[in-house]
Chains A and B, each alone.
Chain A
């Protein structure tokens, strides 16, 4: 019996395939994309997470196997993990705070008209074009009192008692990579916030001016609310980014001295590639993933509450 036989005269032949057409067919069209995403994202993610529950050590290739939560138990009592976690926190907060506020200031400045604006604009975006490895090396040298000027300037300003390398002082070392990261990250905020600023309708400012609003009122009642969605999303993205961003630290201090700049992602790297213990490294990575997911959820909820659009 064929499909044609079952169709009564006058009725649409497409009818029996209704289910197919609306419920299945669309998925077939997006299937290649879904499969691709699954292949390049989900599969490695699942494999990576599964390593966290295994013993995977390149130096002991025959002692592999499932170990349950053993890696996580070890993590719980690992002093270095907690140290790295708190360092990650300060590294991220310190970097994002200065990146954001300086970036915002720069965006506001570039949103006005002044002589030589184009040149300034080009210069401002320069750090974005420099490879991180190179900027890390350059900054490391700038902090070196034998070659770089920064320690001497800081000493002249009275911030340092004598010109020494702050990268060698466990209490100050984190400021080195943070400074480099601030320099490196300002353009991102400047670009995105500038774009958002330019999309604010000019009439609003005119109206505010006619109503006699002060500059501060204009800023808090017009600019900030319009920028808020962009701020929320860029801050979230950058936070996740910075928390995972080990290049600058790795090149400038290597996590030292005495682990004072060790963050979770550098710790993951050393565990995986120095100790060659991929299982334990994955466990740390899963912990970091969990924390960042939690953070993203909180921020997205906050954004929904704050932004009424």
Chain B
């Protein structure tokens, strides 16, 4: 198999451009036409500033990126610079260059926020395997008109309010409270609710046991099941993914949507700015909320023929100006200090995220993406079992036990490898 993949990739390389010292290969894995356009423009600027350099951009559509990229790397067709999503970093960490020294010497290194540095070092807590290019943080979109129609005076602050407001909106004909994401990518919602009801967002206790089946977490899982089974979320939301929940929100089908800033792009195109706003996620019994935070960033492979040039490209893409532009167009929270002063980020629509970042009671939750099988857990196991739970085939406790068992095993394996 490996030989076969190798042979295929060797052919692919031969068919592609012959590598010269000045050619960098950059792979982007979360692709959309808009993002590629922004990236291409920034890369063009880089090429202009460094005559004789050529950057070849390979765009993989996110849906198949994981297996395509794994096949590329396994076959020896390894890029210089790659867009690295947090959940893959654990798999590739040993092949990625530690950027700590370079960041320390970098002119813009000092303005990187602490969170950015921490996230870049999340694989082992020390080595900076990437420079994140922005954060996907959850906050709650709400539809002002629908709440008004349902007689809800203020947007929810606690989980109880959230359930009550969802109930009120669902009493309107053909309307629902919550745009539940039961399909692909739904894990964040489950983890967030479990942590919020449990008042704690550590994934493992001191014995290395997963906290997901503690009574509080089970309550959080039950919370979403109740939402669905009581009819506060549309019936087919059991298989909704990103596009469906966002469409559900801007079409006015459901009043609440928990999403990252990237949903703002589609929503603000179709809704008037005064009809919706974004607030932090509702807090649980402990007075805290634990919205998930995700990120992706730029990484360099240790096989890169010209590491200095590759770093230059990463530094170019991560510079405050380029990053601010990227954050605006792609819909992420920027990585340099002071970016929130930009008028673009000082709106009612953006308030929810910065409030979350600054508020005491909001603790962003980083998924345990360092676990090797986390991607499989999120995309297959969690997806299937959570749907079974929503449909009433298994109980909240059973889901929680299955997840906890899997994560505890994976964590033990990860610990043993440290």
| A positions within 8 Å CB-CB of B | 47, 51, 56, 58-60, 144-146, 164-165, 167-170, 173, 253-259, 270, 273-276, 278
Given A58-B74, A254-B183, A275-B380, are A168 and B236 also a contact pair (CB < 8 Å)? yes
**Chain B 81-95 interface 0/1 with A at a Cβ cutoff of 8 Å (1 = within):** 000000000010000
Question: Smallest distance from the beta carbon of A216 to chain B beta carbons, Å?
Answer: 44
Question: Smallest distance from the beta carbon of B108 to chain A beta carbons, Å?
Answer: 35
Of the residues A56, A169, A170, A256, contact of B1 by C-beta under 8 Å: A56
**Chain B 230-266 interface 0/1 with A at a Cβ cutoff of 8 Å (1 = within):** 0000111111100010011001010000000000000
**A-B pairs with beta carbons under 8 Å apart, 15 shown:** A59-B91, A146-B248, A164-B236, A167-B239, A168-B237, A253-B239, A254-B239, A256-B183, A256-B239, A256-B384, A257-B391, A259-B388, A270-B380, A274-B67, A275-B376
Contacts of B235 in A (CB 8 A): 164-165, 168-169
Give complex CA distance A79, B75 in Å: 34
Question: Smallest distance from the beta carbon of A168 to chain B beta carbons, Å?
Answer: 3
Contacts of B67 in A (CB 8 A): 273-274
Contacts of B291 in A (CB 8 A): none
Give complex CA distance A270, B66 in Å: 12
Residues B1 and A258 in contact, CB atoms below 8 Å apart: no
Question: Smallest distance from the beta carbon of B302 to chain A beta carbons, Å?
Answer: 17
Give complex CA distance A254, B1 in Å: 26
Question: Which residue from chain A places its CB closest to the CB of B5 in the assembled complex?
Answer: A58
Residues B236 and A145 in contact, CB atoms below 8 Å apart: yes
The yes or no answer to B364 lying at the interface (CB within 8 A) is no
Known: A58-B74, A169-B236. 8 other contacts (CB 8 A): A59-B91, A164-B235, A168-B182, A170-B391, A256-B387, A257-B239, A258-B388, A275-B373
Question: Smallest distance from the beta carbon of A249 to chain B beta carbons, Å?
Answer: 13
Given A168-B238, A170-B391, A274-B375, are A146 and B251 also a contact pair (CB < 8 Å)? yes
Give complex CA distance A223, B355 in Å: 76
Residues A258 and B391 in contact, CB atoms below 8 Å apart: yes
Question: Which residue from chain A places its CB closest to the CB of B68 in the assembled complex?
Answer: A273
Question: Smallest distance from the beta carbon of B278 to chain A beta carbons, Å?
Answer: 22
Residues B376 and A258 in contact, CB atoms below 8 Å apart: no
Residues A258 and B66 in contact, CB atoms below 8 Å apart: no
Question: Smallest distance from the beta carbon of B254 to chain A beta carbons, Å?
Answer: 11
Residues B380 and A58 in contact, CB atoms below 8 Å apart: no
Contacts of B253 in A (CB 8 A): 146
Give complex CA distance A173, B183 in Å: 14
> Which B358-391 residues sit within 8 Å CB-CB of chain A?
372-373, 375-376, 379-380, 383-385, 387-388, 390-391
The yes or no answer to B184 lying at the interface (CB within 8 A) is yes
Contacts of A47 in B (CB 8 A): 1
Question: Smallest distance from the beta carbon of A89 to chain B beta carbons, Å?
Answer: 20
Residues A167 and B236 in contact, CB atoms below 8 Å apart: yes
Question: Smallest distance from the beta carbon of A48 to chain B beta carbons, Å?
Answer: 9
Residues A273 and B1 in contact, CB atoms below 8 Å apart: no
Give complex CA distance A165, B393 in Å: 19
The yes or no answer to B7 lying at the interface (CB within 8 A) is no
Give complex CA distance A247, B75 in Å: 25
Residues A258 and B384 in contact, CB atoms below 8 Å apart: yes
Give complex CA distance A170, B236 in Å: 10
Question: Which residue from chain B places its CB closest to the CB of A170 in the assembled complex?
Answer: B391
Question: Which residue from chain B places its CB closest to the CB of A251 in the assembled complex?
Answer: B63
Give complex CA distance A195, B191 in Å: 58
Give complex CA distance A275, B238 in Å: 23
Question: Smallest distance from the beta carbon of B329 to chain A beta carbons, Å?
Answer: 26
Contacts of B70 in A (CB 8 A): 58, 276
Residues A258 and B387 in contact, CB atoms below 8 Å apart: yes
Question: Which residue from chain B places its CB closest to the CB of A277 in the assembled complex?
Answer: B376
Give complex CA distance A133, B237 in Å: 22
Give complex CA distance A275, B373 in Å: 7
Interface centre among A168, A253, A256, A273 (most CB of B within 10 A): A168
Contacts of A257 in B (CB 8 A): 182-183, 238-239, 387, 390-391
Question: Smallest distance from the beta carbon of A286 to chain B beta carbons, Å?
Answer: 15
Contacts of B376 in A (CB 8 A): 274-276
Residues A274 and B239 in contact, CB atoms below 8 Å apart: no
Question: Which residue from chain B places its CB closest to the CB of A282 in the assembled complex?
Answer: B1
Give complex CA distance A253, B240 in Å: 10
Question: Smallest distance from the beta carbon of B183 to chain A beta carbons, Å?
Answer: 6
Residues A168 and B74 in contact, CB atoms below 8 Å apart: no
Give complex CA distance A153, B184 in Å: 28
Give complex CA distance A255, B385 in Å: 12
Given A168-B235, A168-B239, are A59 and B387 also a contact pair (CB < 8 Å)? no
Question: Which residue from chain B places its CB closest to the CB of A255 in the assembled complex?
Answer: B384
Question: Smallest distance from the beta carbon of B218 to chain A beta carbons, Å?
Answer: 19
Contacts of A59 in B (CB 8 A): 91, 372-373
**Chain B 181-192 interface 0/1 with A at a Cβ cutoff of 8 Å (1 = within):** 011100000000
Question: Which residue from chain B places its CB closest to the CB of A143 in the assembled complex?
Answer: B236
Give complex CA distance A274, B239 in Å: 19
Interface centre among B237, B253, B393 (most CB of A within 10 A): B393
Contacts of A256 in B (CB 8 A): 183, 238-239, 383-384, 387
Contacts of A167 in B (CB 8 A): 236, 239
Question: Smallest distance from the beta carbon of B270 to chain A beta carbons, Å?
Answer: 13
Of the residues B247, B380, B390, contact of A146 by C-beta under 8 Å: B247
Contacts of A259 in B (CB 8 A): 384, 387-388
Give complex CA distance A291, B235 in Å: 36
Give complex CA distance A169, B239 in Å: 9
> Which B1-40 residues sit within 8 Å CB-CB of chain A?
1
> Which B83-121 residues sit within 8 Å CB-CB of chain A?
91
Interface centre among A59, A60, A257 (most CB of B within 10 A): A257
Residues B372 and A273 in contact, CB atoms below 8 Å apart: no
Question: Smallest distance from the beta carbon of B197 to chain A beta carbons, Å?
Answer: 23
Contacts of B237 in A (CB 8 A): 168
Residues B383 and A273 in contact, CB atoms below 8 Å apart: no
Contacts of B248 in A (CB 8 A): 146
Interface centre among B70, B183, B253, B380 (most CB of A within 10 A): B380
Q: Which 5 A-B pairs have the closest CB atoms?
A: A168-B236, A165-B236, A258-B387, A273-B67, A258-B388
Contacts of B244 in A (CB 8 A): 144
Question: Which residue from chain A places its CB closest to the CB of B389 in the assembled complex?
Answer: A258
Give complex CA distance A239, B184 in Å: 30
Give complex CA distance A47, B237 in Å: 42
Contacts of A165 in B (CB 8 A): 235-236, 239
Contacts of A58 in B (CB 8 A): 70, 74
Question: Smallest distance from the beta carbon of A275 to chain B beta carbons, Å?
Answer: 5
